Structure formats: C-alpha cells, structure tokens
Structure 1
Amino acid sequence: MSDKITIPAQGRDKDTILDELSKLHLKDIPWKEGRAWSMVYYVDEDHQDLLEKAYSSFFSENYLNPFAFQSLKKMELEVIQMTASLLHGDEHVTGTMTSGGTESIFLAVYTYRERAQKLFPQIKAPEIVASTTIHPAFEKAAHLLNIKVKKAAIDQNMRAQPAELAKLISPNTILIAASAPSYPHGVLDPIAEIAALALAKKLPFHVDCCIGGFMLPWVEKLGYPIAPFDFRVPGVTSISADAHKFGYGAKGASVLLYRSMNYLKHQFYVVTDWPGGIYASPTLLGSRPGGAIAATWSAMQALGQEGYLKIAREIMQATNELKEALEGIPEIIILGDPAMNIIAFSTINNQPDIFVIADQLEQKGWMLDRQQLPNSIHLTVMRHNIPVVNQYIADLKAAIDFAQKNPAAVAKGNAALYGLMARIPFRGMVETNVRHIFEELYDFSKSTSITEDEKPVSLPDPPRWMGELNRLLTTLAQLKSFWKKR
C-alpha cells in the first residue's frame, strides 16, 4: 500500500510547485513534436498564449448565474450566434455552450426525452435510432436517462444507411441521430436522406458535428465535395459542435444548437421550492468556468474566417499527402471515404496484422489510436502533425516490413492485447476487465505517486495489469479456438 496522500501541513513554495508541474509534463506524450494524432488541437504559440491569457482573465468567474456576469453572458451568446452562422442557422437558431461534446450530446438526448414526455406521454420506453458508428456518448446518455439506443448496420463505405435506420423506428422512437463526420472513419453520414426520413416520421434529428462542426465548413469553402450536413438541410433539428477541437478554443468548450426555442426550452431545468431560492440551470453543469467561454470567444475573434480557412487549407493539404502515400502502399486500405482530416486505415484482410504494425510505430515514439470492427489505426491530422507526415510514412513502411517478416509477432506485446480485445467474442468479459482496469486506476490503496527521480519517457510504461489481462485474453482466444473445433 502506498503512503496516504494528504494536503501538505504547510504550503509549498510556488516556484517549487511550478517546477514539479514541468517535471510531470515530461511523462506525457511529446505532442508538439507531432507524435500524437488525437486529443490536442493546437494552432501555434501565439494562439496558445492568447488562450491562456483569455482563460486566466476570467479564471475566477462562475457562470452559474448568467445575470451576475454580463461579460460571460455576452461572450456565450456571441459564440452561439457565430457558430449558428457558420452552420447556416437562421435568426431562430439558438443554443448553449457546454463543457464538451459529451455534455452537448447528453443534453440533446435529455432535451428530446423531456420533449417527448410533454408531447407524447404515451411513450413509456423511449428509444433513439442511430448507426453503429454513432459516438458512445449517446449510449452513455441513454444509459443514464433510461433510454434504449437501437443501432443499424453501416454500409461497406462506413456510412449510415437510411433504409436500415427506418427499420428500427417504432412508436417509442424519440430521436434519430447521425454523424458529420463519424469519429472512427471521418465519413459523412447521408444527412439529407436521414433528415428526409426524420421529416417523414415527424421525428427530431440530431447531427453530431462535435469533431466536424468547426472544420467541415472550411473544407467545403476550400472546394472539397462536402454534402450539406447542417441547418441548410430541412429536418435537422439540432447540432453539436466542439469549439475546443477545430474551433481552437480552450478545453472544455462545445456548442449545442437547436433550430428554434421550441426545442431548447425542454433543456432548461428549474426548481422553485428549494430553501436556497429558485434554482434554474440551462445546461447540465451548475458552476460553469468562465475561462472556457472567454477563451473560445477570443479564439474566434483572433482567427477570424481568414485564419480558420488558412489552417484548414494547410491541414487538408497534409491530409491529402498522407492519404496519397497510404494509397500507394499495397498492403494498406483506407476505410470509407473520409470527408475531412480523419483517416482510418487497415491492412487487406488484416495481413499483416495491423496491431503488430501499430506496436512497431509506438516503439518509434508514435502515439496511436487503435480501433476495432474492423481492426484499424485512426489518425486525425493536426497542424502539429504536418512537419512529420513523411517521417510517419517512412516508419509505417518499416513497420509493415517488420510485420511481414515476423508473422509470429501477433502473439506478442500490445498487438496481442489489442488484437484479442477486438476479436474476442465474449464482449461481457472484455467489459469486466476494462472495468477492472479503471477500478485499479482509481484504487488509492494500490496506487503509487510519481517520484522526482523517475526518468522521463516519451510514452507511459505498460501498467502492471497488462500482463495479467494479456494472459486472460490469450486464454479466452484459446477457448474460442477450442469451441470452433467442437
């Protein structure tokens, strides 16, 4: 058991604290070197400095009460209006800022449940219809709100299929949801066709633009063939777009828009009989950090349309170069037809094993997102990735060469762990073990603190549960093989 961590008896020197924070950073992935293909959305040091100063200038302000801080109220409303304009909303489009995509999606699901309870009280078991590539935040929200998510299969191009979605609609359906684009493959769902279905069935339709809302409009302006996905499409009733992604605001900031107040009004929560006074909340959070709002507003003001367009042009040029290079590798196949700067790729028939390739890339210092169904590697091309695209391709080719020459490598290292995780038929056992991982992560009776004498590494060391989980998954794979032979 580790020593119990408590608040220091005496306060520590601030310079010592800041020095320790710098040392802690050394354990993180060196994303500024372009080695990470997700999570960090970065413009340059000048923009970073602006975000930090804007955030700090409203560091203490609490947006719990929109009327107490008129400055934050003004900035939130302007961010909402600027986002609505970007996504072709008219003067009736309204919404709120949230802490991120998960909250935006949760609130959309909550809003449509509340709307259904008021307008269609006969619905006792509400359902959402979406495709298998819809973001898990919808399922998380549905789980918390006692709603069922019915998912339709995607087509061979990784797109939602309106006909399959239509088969799942029932008298209990309260919402249809789709992606623009889907996170796993960067593929744009057929929004217009799904919206037509929603109109025909008189159902609300939410478009998850969390990753695409602040990129697709600029990609379209650059001349790329982007089908309408926003409020131009009749039938789209709400859109979520993360400002802390390609809006280049500070974490966490997202925008949730509705076609009119007729929808947004169901999102508000009010309690009138609390001894502390009347409690009213427009979003999920009570206390809301003013810094995220100020930083998002500042980012939009600083970059302007010209700045966003310039960054999108640079990123899409690098994306095209990366895509062409991947298409030139015989063993590689790109999944679907990516609409923007997201690419998912695998190997033909998983030969050689894509996770062995991923392991080799990680050994060279690349941070990768592995995906399943099918097994693949996911890349979101960021501005800081642009200088290292050629190096990535060179390392990828070397990794493929290694995997081809070492077919036994499928049973080693992370390839076995992630590969079996993706292929194992007993999903309940996978869930149990993932839950165990989180339990161990937050079990303070077993955790250890980072000491100053630890050596910095570019990637975190494998956690101690990896070997145990790897052995378990190997055993399960053997069981699968045994039952196949019976």
Structure 2
Amino acid sequence: MATFTIKNPRQAFINAVVAYIVFRQAAKGMRMLSVYGIQHVLSFLWKKVAGGVIRHLRRAPGAGTVVQKNIAKAIKNIEDTMIIDVPGESKFLTIPDAAMSDEEILAVLRRRQNEAGIDWKNGRVSGAVYHGGEELGRLTSEAYAMFSLTNPLHPGVFPGLRRIEAEVVRMVVDLYNGSSECCGTTTSGGTESIIMAVRAHVVWGREARGLETPNIVVPVTAHAAFDKAAEYFGIGITHVPVDAKTQRVDIKAMKRVIDSNTVLIVGSSATYPHGVADDLVALSDLAIKHKIGFHIDSCLGSFIMPFLKEAGFPEVICDFRLPGVTSISCDTHKYGFAPKGTSVVMYSNKQLRHYQYFTIATWPGGIYASPTIAGSRCGAVIAACWAAMTKMGRDGYLEECKRIVGSRIKIQQAIEEIPELYVVGEPTSSVVAFASHWPVNIYGVLDELKNRGWELNPMQFPSALHIACTRLTVPVVDELIRDLNQAVAAVKANPDGYGNGSQAIYGFAATVPDSTIVEEVAEGFIDTLYTV
C-alpha cells in the first residue's frame, strides 16, 4: 500500500495557511463581483489603491504640507462663511459676574433669533423645519413650559409624564398597525432610534444566537445613522447597491451578502436621498427565510406613509402587517409636527425591546436601568409631542398628507417637463430628487437657487438635489417651479461659470480617492459650530 509522507511539515503548514488566505480573498472577490458588478469593483479597487497612495504621499514632508494647506483653506472658507461678527453684539465667553436682567437676556435672544438666514418661515428650505402651524406651535410651547422641569428618569416623581410617554409610544405603534405584543420607546430623534434598533439586534445576536461578530446589511441609500451605529458598536456593515432606475435596494444582491453572522437587514420608507420606498415585502420574506431581524426606517416617512392609501395615493405597506418586521423607527418631530428631539423606535415584541435596555445591578449608586442612550431626559419634548399628536388627530394628519404629497407630485411633474432635468428614482412620499443632463451642472442649479433665496439639499452618487416638502412648502410651490426654471436657464446659458461654489465642494468629494481628506474638512465644519 502506498503511503504519503510530508517531508517538510513547517512548509506544508505555511502553504496551507497561504492557500486558505488566497481562497478567502478569492471568495470575497467573487462575492463582491456578484453583488456590485465588475465596474463598481474596479472603481472600488482604484479608489482603494489611489487613496492609499495619496495617504502615503500625505505623510511625505512636501506633498503632505500642500494637501494640509488646501484642507486648511477649505476650513477657513467655512469659518469665514459661518462665523460672522455682528456689530454691537457681545460675545459671552465667561459666565457674567453679575446677573443679567430678564429684559437684557430676552433682548439678546431675540436679536440672535432674528439673525439673517434662509427664509424658512416662507417655505424656502428643504425639510429642516416641520412646522404644524402657529396655533399648534403655541399649544406645544405651552405644553413644553408646563413640563420643562420634568425627567422621565424619575417616574415616581412625575407619574403623569410616565403615562404621557407610554401613550405616545402606544399611539405610534397603533399608527403602524402593531398588535398588543408590539411595543417601543421614545428617543431623542431618528438617529438614536436607529442606533437603539441596531443595538437590540446586535445584543440579540450575541446572547440568543451566540454570535461573536454580528453584522448588519443595509442599502447604500439607508440613513448614515446605521453606519454610525456600526462604528459605535464595532460591528460589520455591508452596503447593498440599489437599482439605477428605481433607487430601490437590489433584493438579489441583498440575498448574496447575508451570512451566518447577519442579525439585521434594513429597508427604508422612505429613503432620505430620493424619497423612495424599498421593496419591503421582499425584504420581509428575506428576513423570515434567514430568521434574522428586519428594520424599517420610517423616520422620514413618519406620519406621511401610513396615510397614503387613505389620502388617495398608492399604498406602501411599511408596518407590522409585514410578518418579517422586527423593528421600525418613526420620527414624531418630522411630519408628526412635534418639537425637535422626539422619535419612537418600535419592536415586534417585548423581549427584543429588552435587548435595547441597559441595566446594572452592582453599581454602588443603586440599581440602574435606562431604556435608551440618555439617562436623564427632557420630559418637556415628550409632553409637547403628545399635545401635537392629540391636537392634530388622524383627520389632521390625513389632510396634511394630501397637501404635502400633492405638492411633491406637482414639483415632480414640473421637473419632468424641464428637458435638462430628470427625476432620480421613483418617489413615493414627500421627497423628490432630481439630476441634470450635460451640459447643465446640477450643483450650479443649486447655487442659482440659493441666489434666489432657496435652500435645497445636495445629494451625491449620483449628483442630484432634493427637496423634502413640508407644510410650509405647499403655498410656495409655484414660486419654486418658476425659480427652478430660471436657475436651469441661467446655468445652461453659462455652463462653465459654476466651477466654484457647490460644484467645487461636491465635485471634489465625489472624485477624490482619499475620503479622509473630505472627512477632515467635515470635521473642520463641526469645529466651526463650536467656535465663538
């Protein structure tokens, strides 16, 4: 009988390790090809290599200095735009020795409230201010004042606030067709709602499934809060491409990237960039098949999407009627018209919600438990949220859905009639995104609209603009359409005249291989927010 002997066990072991690594990398490469396609993979590899070269050169004395000077120049431009000394206005850099009078304090606040900015009160801003009207504003302000000293961390001290918060959650769960088993918590906003949902599924994966390296799978159009959550928790995140025409997530690609460590897949209703609803039914089926979580991000869709059918628009089922849904995020401070700082994250059952909580029984300060990231929280915004929801009622929200989505449709139709523009994706809610045909530069259109007093949001990958219609947009739709036509005509007449401004920023961000350069500029922007 023939025998097989290894003459050099050490070399054989090394060969086996190398073969394993090569196999793993080859499998990873094939997986990327199957999900993203050859063009995207080549672009990714080019950016990775070129970005590495640039980062290496930045460490070189001469080249690095040049790059840093350009970064510093960009940040200085941001500072010059944002940090403006107001003649006669004092700067408060230390606490005053003597108390200021009420009149003095209120005078300073009024002056700063009225400092020049975009005219949001007359609807010239995309999203940002989700105004429910002057009457509702007065009511929510009064509710806020009534509960300004309350803290949900102390339910024994503020039992009425505990009931108010529980009712807010229950009303939103009901809006999203949740059963008696469904539940949730309030949070400070959509980002925290998303982070909490990710945490719940990650902890579930570790404790219930024994996973050491859980990961989540999201569309490339999913909110950046999922990336923030992945970074905070040190977990893997895979971004799945979307269909170029519809901008909905590619379900086949999603199937290919789910693995044994995946704890959560995500769909949006609707996406922030393009106002598109992903194929939530297919995602629900996918989650059931793989026995994993499925989160619907309806922070932007909030109180719009649940009323679409009743308002006479095509229905998008984005709630607990889909059997695979395990969590949903909904911002009450957007189309619920509550003050900023309120959102609700919902779960299909209490056990999953428990994975969101933090508890510690061994702290010398006593048994500590909190539902979300914060310990102490502002009870005033919760009370004002309750006031907004009960004042609006379902009839009020239905009427606003008709008006707001109707304004989006009117703007979309106008865009479709401008030959130089085209709508990106298939919008379903309050948002419409649009891009331009050459030679019209879409960021030039953005700057021309700014010159006319509008503040729309720039998008990238692909380059586009979007407007999130609000209650304030409705009366100024015709003005926007007029100014949009004029802006396009101006850029078309001088296509080479828009190399600076928005094009300089977003054109650079879309093409530079080393994303850390853009990130440094973004960090400089945030630093500017805290510069007096």
Output the TM-score relative to the length of structure 1: 0.88
SS in 1 for 2:524: helix
Which has the larger displacement, 431-440 or 13-22? 431-440
Return the alpha-carbon distance in structure 2 between the equivalents of residues 413 and 209 of structure 1: 33
Return the alpha-carbon distance in structure 1 between the equivalents of residues 267 and 158 of structure 2: 36
Aligned positions, number: 442
The residue number in structure 1 matching 2:368 is: 279
The residue number in structure 2 matching 1:52 is: 141
Return the alpha-carbon distance in structure 1 between the equivalents of residues 382 and 163 of structure 2: 10
Q: Summarize the alignment of residues 174-323 of structure 1 with structure 2, pairs less than 5 Å apart.
A: 174-323=263-412
| 1:150 maps to 2:238 | yes
Equivalent in 517, 520, 532 of residue 432 of structure 1: 520
The residue number in structure 1 matching 2:465 is: 377
The residue type equivalent to 1:42 in the other structure is H
The residue number in structure 1 matching 2:443 is: 355
Contact 2:305 2:316 in 1 (8 A): no
Shift of 1:69: 1.5
Q: Summarize the alignment of residues 163-182 of structure 1 with structure 2, pairs less than 5 Å apart.
A: 163-182=252-271
Return the alpha-carbon distance in structure 1 between the equivalents of residues 217 and 238 of structure 2: 5
| 1:160 maps to 2:249 | yes
Return the alpha-carbon distance in structure 1 between the equivalents of residues 409 and 529 of structure 2: 39
The residue number in structure 1 matching 2:455 is: 367
Return the alpha-carbon distance in structure 2 between the equivalents of residues 211 and 133 of structure 1: 13
Return the alpha-carbon distance in structure 2 between the equivalents of residues 398 and 71 of structure 1: 54
Task: Decide which structure has the larger Cα Rg and report it.
Answer: 2
With over 3 angstroms needed to count, the CA separation of the structure-2 counterparts of 1:269 and 1:391, relative to structure 1, is same
Return the alpha-carbon distance in structure 2 between the equivalents of residues 441 and 87 of structure 1: 37
Return the alpha-carbon distance in structure 2 between the equivalents of residues 65 and 96 of structure 1: 16
Q: Summarize the alignment of residues 322-361 of structure 1 with structure 2, pairs less than 5 Å apart.
A: 322-348=411-437, 350-361=438-449
SS in 2 for 1:247: coil
Shift of 1:126: 1.3
SS in 2 for 1:346: strand
Same amino acid, percent of matched pairs? 37
Per-residue Cα deviation, 1:292-324 (whole angstroms, up to 9, x for no partner): 110111111111111111111111222221111
Alignment root-mean-square deviation, CA: 1.6
Shift of 1:266: 1.0
Equivalent in 480, 488, 501 of residue 413 of structure 1: 501
Return the alpha-carbon distance in structure 2 between the equivalents of residues 312 and 47 of structure 1: 17
Q: Summarize the alignment of residues 95-110 of structure 1 with structure 2, pairs less than 5 Å apart.
A: 95-110=184-199
The residue type equivalent to 2:106 in the other structure is L
Contact 2:416 2:423 in 1 (8 A): yes
The residue number in structure 2 matching 1:484 is: none
SS in 2 for 1:309: helix
Contact 2:303 2:335 in 1 (8 A): yes
Shift of 1:440: 4.5
Contact 2:143 2:380 in 1 (8 A): yes
The residue type equivalent to 2:481 in the other structure is I
Return the alpha-carbon distance in structure 1 between the equivalents of residues 408 and 502 of structure 2: 27
Equivalent in 65, 68, 77 of residue 157 of structure 2: 68
Per-residue Cα deviation, 1:324-382 (whole angstroms, up to 9, x for no partner): 1111111110111111110111112x530000111011011111211100111110111
Per-residue Cα deviation, 1:37-87 (whole angstroms, up to 9, x for no partner): 111101210000011001111000011123332111111111111111111
Return the alpha-carbon distance in structure 1 between the equivalents of residues 430 and 366 of structure 2: 48
Shift of 1:4: 7.8
Return the alpha-carbon distance in structure 2 between the equivalents of residues 24 and 173 of structure 1: 48
Return the alpha-carbon distance in structure 2 between the equivalents of residues 289 and 427 of structure 1: 37
The residue type equivalent to 1:81 in the other structure is R
Provide structure 2 residue ranges, at least 5 long, that are not aligned to the other structure.
Answer: 1-84, 86-90
| Runs of 4+ residues over 4 Å off in structure 1 | none
Return the alpha-carbon distance in structure 2 between the equivalents of residues 328 and 38 of structure 1: 24
Provide structure 1 residue ranges, at least 5 long, that are not aligned to the other structure.
Answer: 449-486
With over 3 angstroms needed to count, the CA separation of the structure-2 counterparts of 1:33 and 1:129, relative to structure 1, is same
The residue type equivalent to 1:174 in the other structure is V
Return the alpha-carbon distance in structure 2 between the equivalents of residues 227 and 368 of structure 1: 26
Return the alpha-carbon distance in structure 1 between the equivalents of residues 122 and 445 of structure 2: 21
SS in 1 for 2:185: strand
Contact 1:344 1:379 in 2 (8 A): yes
Contact 1:87 1:213 in 2 (8 A): no
Return the alpha-carbon distance in structure 2 between the equivalents of residues 316 and 266 of structure 1: 36
Shift of 1:410: 2.9
Return the alpha-carbon distance in structure 1 between the equivalents of residues 143 and 526 of structure 2: 34
Equivalent in 79, 82, 89 of residue 178 of structure 2: 89
